[in-house]
Structure 1
Amino acid sequence: MPDEVTSADARRMPRRAAMSGWVGSALEYYDFSIYAAAAALVFPQVFFPSESPAVALIASLATYGVGYVARPLGAFVLGNFGDKYGRKKVLVFAMMVMGLSTLLVGLLPTYAQVGVLAPILLVVLRLIQGFAVAGELGGASAMIVEYAPQERRGFLTSFSLQGTQAGSILASASFIPLSTFLSHEAFLAWGWRIPFLLSVVVIVAGLIIRSRVEETPAFLREEKTAKVPRVPVAELFRQNGWTVFRCVCMGLANVIGTTVVVFGTAYATQPAYGVGMSPSVYLWIPVMANIVAIILIPFFGRLSDRIGRRPLMIFGPLAAGLLSFAYLFVVSSGNVPLTIVLAILIFGILYQLWNATFASFFQELFPTRTRVTGFAVSQNIALFLTGFLPSIFAAIAPPGSSSVPLVIGTATLLLSLVSAAAAWRSRETARMGLEDLDTAALAAVTKRRSSTRVEARTSQD
């Protein structure tokens, strides 16, 4: 691989990096997202049979959250790897591990066949999934940010997020024909396995896609000038710990997707809650909402280049959090048309203001030498915190409770407020070049250390 790209490569590489990010994220998040649909629709019966449907549901949703337990560990390991050895290498590795672990989920025996070993193996594979996916978006979006022209950084980086939505569509859509044309018994017996087995495509496609993008000039410069830190994660917390904290708080906006898609599916379709919507309705809702999201994400990314990242990062979560009350009340009434409309408005439009912007914003808040680690750690700690919300929601607003919309709506709004406040407290980055971003990050560290020393002297006096 050459140390320097040619002028022709310089023109092609931003588009090639954006396309690689789109396709790679779509494939990897397909793998991760099919588990969410299966956890709500199938796994309570297949892996967690219980005399109490509520207990089986909580246990199944908890395994969905287990995938987020391993994500902080994956973020530390894979983010560190991406900052020390390169963005390209970590992307290939993460995709291979994800594809293999998802394929194995589709081959697992059921509880009826091997007893408690079945859910144990399911949890182990979900942990591996979480570990692998932690490195995908951080590496892909760092590569795009470091190749993109300043005035198009938000737009091009949004393609990696568009890819994650496409992966979610593929995940939900893969279950629709199976649940529609197979009998309920056949779907539970073997039909649910097909989407997992199709992940073999990821293994093949990963090798092809990631091999066509060169390492970024920004990383090569750091490597050439010996600025690559020996332990990027240690330097990250030493110099940018406050930025990590703010990004984690901003990441709590992911509660919107959890409320609308994951908990919403269980609330609307599981017999224990008694709402009684057809599972096929909730297979179509994420598909329709994500189609809208795919259309809007590049527009919102371009908008962030024009007006800045912070306005979108603040308004999106606040508006979506407020509307979550209406959404849950409509679900509780069994009103399918209004449920679909509000789900699309909240998840397909308002949440995407945040979702289309956060990747470029987070990447810009960290310097080149710890960019992948900073993004991966921040994003995945936030996802860890929100990953268990479906089972927590099911516990604090259990089946039989009449206050589900009020309790879950309040929790969603509070977390959205935290996200918006953290964005408001962060600096705007949209109009800064990569070198200016590195300088600003260093200046912030220097200013904070000087302020700490002044406060220490003042307290001593």
Structure 2
Amino acid sequence: MATPLTQPEGQSGRLAAGLPAPRSRGFRRLLAAGLIGSSIEWYDFFLYGTAAALVFPHVFFPHSSALTGTLLALSTFWAGFVARPIGGVLAGHLGDRYGRKPVVVGCLALMGAATFLIGCLPSAGAVGALAPTLLVVLRFVQGLATGGQWGGIVLLLTESAGPKRRGFAGTFGQTSVPVAVIISNLVFMAASGLMSDHSFLAWGWRIPFLFSAVIFSVVLYIQARVEDTPEFRELRRTAGRPERAVVRAPLAQVIRSRWGTVLLGCGLLSATNSLFYVSISGLLSYATDSLGVKRDPLLAIVLLSSVAMLVTIPWSGHISDRVGRRPLILIGGLGVAVWAFPYFWLVGTASLPLIFVAVVVGFVFQCLTYGPIASFLGELFAPGIRYSGASMAYQLSAVVVSGGTPFLMTALIAGTGSTMPVAAYILLMGLITFASAWFLPETNPAEVRSDPQMIPGTQLYG
């Protein structure tokens, strides 16, 4: 195991190590760039989920029954999640060897191109089976980009902050999720509200996808104005030759030495990922098709509920800098488990105010886990394998839990006529998150919170 690399946190120590002062203009610019870039990336990814529930069954699977068309559309939604671990592995390898910034830039550009091209696709009525085939291919590309960008964004943020601010800094990447949900729903509602249903299904749904072209301006900004993380630059500088400090095969190192940590890290995300995708995708399909709730009020509920996430995610990250990461994740996982059955009882009333309560309370519990996870996952791995380890844990949960949840929800309700099996599934996911946090070590212990000289997770190879 390599000698630990320590970095003093005082102002003079930070400058000596090449680290920016946490309140400097450059650091604030980095936080803003991370939030904006990640928000647009997630906007592109979530937009697909909304369209898969409300539009794609009619556009790409017009000859299927309502249920079959929805299941087929949600299966294409899943394709993006299947691709995310692959993107995470590729980006993790490149990011651990060559830096966080170039990988982030490449992933953002790839996502913008894929989403824009989805907006240009012909319908199944025009080209037949080629249309859904191309849709799946582009969704897969979206998944590759998303799988790579998350680790890069959160490491750009957390590795540029001190140990007392990593939890809060990481939430600028996490807060991009509700920002993206709000933007995607606003754009989708505006496009559908300004035209008839026929026009919207014919061509109006394309507008939100074409709008994603704005991501290229963010790509140019990050490329020109944002530096790679001080911690990665220090890692490369530590040895006389960079190849001595940088792990040649970071993925192999993670699998060989930290596989158990990866699996527990994957489990950390079970509660937040399952309930989140039920709320932003599965709920839209179930409530419109089975409960007769109108589309636009449901989109408004998801939008308004996401405002609670804008507050809860940064707050939870900030609190994790003071009390540790694990307590919040334990509370959030247990909260999701307890709320699972009340959530579906409230949704089953088809009452818009009660559906709002179900979603917003669920969002608050899941945010208690999601806020600290950006810093927590990174701190579990040494810098030389951090991109690979954190990305693998995060993206494994994406393919195992996130992508399949809307499909599983629709299939379970169709097969049983009840939401109770789905509630039991959410309960299980909450308990998995609780158990995973229970068995993982605290990465922001009291001695680090009180002594800024001590920085967790700073061994070169783990």
TM-score exceeds 0.5: yes
Output one character per residue of 1:229-271: Cα deviation in whole Å (capped at 9) or x when no partner. Answer: 111111111121111111011121211102222211111012x
* 1:174 and 2:187 aligned: yes
Conserved 8 A contact 2:19-2:160: no
Cα 1:437–1:192, aligned 2, differ >3 Å: closer, same or farther? same
Output one character per residue of 1:4-36: Cα deviation in whole Å (capped at 9) or x when no partner. Answer: 748679944433332221111111111111101
Task: Specify the SS of the correspondent of 1:135.
Answer: helix
Conserved 8 A contact 2:163-2:455: no
Q: Distance in 1 between matches of 2:439 and 2:460?
A: 15
Deviates more, 1:378-387 or 1:390-399: 390-399
Cα 1:4–1:421, aligned 2, differ >3 Å: closer, same or farther? closer
Deviation at 1:213, TM superposition (A): 1.4
* 1:188 and 2:201 aligned: yes
Deviation at 1:435, TM superposition (A): 6.9
Percent identity of paired positions between Structure 1 and Structure 2: 35
Structure 1 residue runs without a partner (length 5+): 446-461
Which of 355, 375, 380 is the aligned partner of 1:360?
A: 375
* 1:371 and 2:371 aligned: no
Q: Distance in 2 between matches of 1:297 and 1:54?
A: 35
Task: Specify the SS of the correspondent of 2:441.
Answer: coil
Deviation at 1:195, TM superposition (A): 0.4
Q: Distance in 2 between matches of 1:423 and 1:434?
A: 26
Conserved 8 A contact 2:191-2:208: no
* 1:251 and 2:269 aligned: yes
Output one character per residue of 1:288-346: Cα deviation in whole Å (capped at 9) or x when no partner. Answer: 11111112221111111111111111111221232222222222221111001221111
Q: Letter of the 1:109 partner, please give it.
A: P
Output one character per residue of 1:65-117: Cα deviation in whole Å (capped at 9) or x when no partner. Answer: 11001101101101111111001101100000000000000000001111110
The residue aligned with 2:320 is 304
The residue aligned with 1:264 is 283
Q: Distance in 1 between matches of 2:189 and 2:100?
A: 35
Which of 421, 427, 432 is the aligned partner of 1:407?
A: 421
Conserved 8 A contact 1:365-1:441: no
Which of 247, 269, 279 is the aligned partner of 1:229?
A: 247
Q: Distance in 1 between matches of 2:307 and 2:89?
A: 32
The residue aligned with 1:276 is 292
Q: Letter of the 1:238 partner, please give it.
A: R
Structure 2 residue runs without a partner (length 5+): 1-15
The residue aligned with 2:260 is 242
Q: Distance in 2 between matches of 1:159 and 1:135?
A: 17
Q: Distance in 1 between matches of 2:460 and 2:351?
A: 49
The residue aligned with 1:459 is none
Task: Specify the SS of the correspondent of 2:227.
Answer: coil
The residue aligned with 1:451 is none
Q: Letter of the 1:374 partner, please give it.
A: G
Which of 278, 286, 302 is the aligned partner of 2:302?
A: 286
Q: Distance in 2 between matches of 1:340 and 1:7?
A: 42
Deviation at 1:395, TM superposition (A): 1.8
How many residue pairs get aligned? The number is 436
Cα 1:51–1:104, aligned 2, differ >3 Å: closer, same or farther? closer
The residue aligned with 1:425 is 439
Conserved 8 A contact 1:259-1:412: no
Q: Distance in 2 between matches of 1:153 and 1:14?
A: 12
Output one character per residue of 1:346-394: Cα deviation in whole Å (capped at 9) or x when no partner. Answer: 12x1111111111111011111001111111110010011111211222
**What does residue range 392-403 of structure 1 map to in structure 2 within 5 Å?**
392-398=408-414, 401-403=416-418
Deviates more, 1:3-12 or 1:75-84: 3-12
Conserved 8 A contact 2:44-2:209: yes
Conserved 8 A contact 2:107-2:148: yes
The TM-score, its normalising length taken from structure 2, stands at 0.90
Q: Distance in 1 between matches of 2:417 and 2:432?
A: 27
Output one character per residue of 1:107-137: Cα deviation in whole Å (capped at 9) or x when no partner. Answer: 0000111111000000000000000011112
Conserved 8 A contact 2:341-2:423: yes
Q: CA RMSD in A?
A: 2.1
**What does residue range 102-121 of structure 1 map to in structure 2 within 5 Å?**
102-121=115-134
Conserved 8 A contact 1:233-1:373: yes
The TM-score, its normalising length taken from structure 1, stands at 0.90
